[in-house]
Amino acid sequence: MQGWSGRVDLPEGPLTRRWHQWVRPLEAGAAPGVAVLGFASDEGVRRNHGRVGAAEGPTSLRKALSGLPTLDDTPLYDAGTVDVVDGDLEGAQVRYAERLAALLDAGHFPVGLGGGHEIAFATYQGLAKHLGKHRPRVAVVNIDAHFDLRQQERGSSGTPFLQILEHAQGIGLAVQYCVLGISAASNTRLLFQTADEHYVHYVRDDELGVLDLPQRIAALQAVLADVDVIYQTIDIDSLPHAMAPGVSAPAARGVSLDVVEPILDAVAATGKVRVLDIAELSPPHDHDGVTARVAARLIHRVTHAVAGAKRGG
């Protein structure tokens, strides 16, 4: 299958199995499992005046995921990639949402491979379509240096969470936006004001040291106790530049993995995470593929944790 290859350890079997040996093309009627779905887009980054390259993210992520070991027997599928054609971001978001809703309807755990963070509005639309007339309480948990609550004429990588909040309000869907890793140096006063107006639960990057973790995780858990469904999204530019150089907007500070990973573990442990995506990997700027490997590690960790939460441990 295109994009999936890697080493094979002997003796071949479940204990030596890697993702490239386990992943299969998604077919109708397949048993529920993890399904990766690419969103090859940097149109949103371009509209947001960032450095382009994120459209190559899904290919790079598949390559980085290929060699990772499978930690359980959860089925693994490749559901393909949605491309942005001729700058039609909105049309691609609708197509992606339709595919993602179908994955959720079939009982799969979708993992979106971005692409710019404009993937978030597409993911939300797919989740909302899946939920239909049901109106559970939804939390969007974002690991990010940016609020992405910009008000612009056209959607971009800087607008998805405002689009989500406004759309949800319009259909009567209760959405709580939580974002951890916010950089005071990367968000205007208007963005902080917008966050406050929408009751966003946010934590700055300088409030997310290792010693702060117990308090920050407890506060997040208190918020998530009041929701039914969680959409987890990760902007890889939330990590320090030395750890994630290949991104659309490199971080001046960032939040380290020894903080990010326990937060992701705590969110997954709720058993409420229904969808995951990762955004802003920009392979043309990724020296030695280190950013792709970090992103793949986070996907690997979250999918295993979600599977464990479903099993009850």
The helix (H) or strand (E) run that includes residue 105 is: helix 89-105
**Cα-flanking dihedrals φ and ψ of residue 143, to 5°?**
-100, 110
Give the sheet arrangement for strand 24-25, strand by strand.
24-25, 76-83, 34-40, 109-114, 273-279, 229-235, 138-143, 175-182, 201-204
pLDDT per residue as tens digits for the range 214-265: 999 999 999 999 999 999 999 999 999 999 999 998 888 999 999 999 999 9
Angle subtended by helix axes 257-268 and 213-224, to nearest 10: 30
pTM of the model: 0.97
Q: What is the 3-state secondary structure (H, E, C) of 198-223?
A: CCCEEEEHHHCCHHHHHHHHHHHHHH
Indicate if the pLDDT at residue 39 is higher than 80: yes
The pLDDT of 80-89, averaged and rounded, is 96
Whose tokens are 């197509």? That residue is: 95
pLDDT category of residue 310 using cuts at 50, 70 and 90? confident
pLDDT per residue as tens digits for the range 99-157: 999 999 999 999 999 999 999 999 999 999 999 988 899 999 999 999 999 999 999 99
The CA distance from 66 to 47, in Å, is 32
Domains of the chain are 32-311 (3.40.800.10)
Partners of residue 142 on adjacent β-strands: 179, 233
Write the CA distances from 105 to 77, 96, 180, integer angstroms. 15, 14, 29
The rounded mean pLDDT for the chain is 96
Indicate if the pLDDT at residue 1 is higher than 80: no
pLDDT value of residue 36: 98
The CA distance from 39 to 155, in Å, is 15
pLDDT value of residue 313: 58
* Paired tokens of 262: 């326990």
The CA distance from 230 to 268, in Å, is 9
* Paired tokens of 32: 């529920």
Contact 40, 281 (CB under 8 A): no
As a whole-number percent, the residues of the chain with pLDDT over 90 amount to: 94
pLDDT value of residue 2: 79
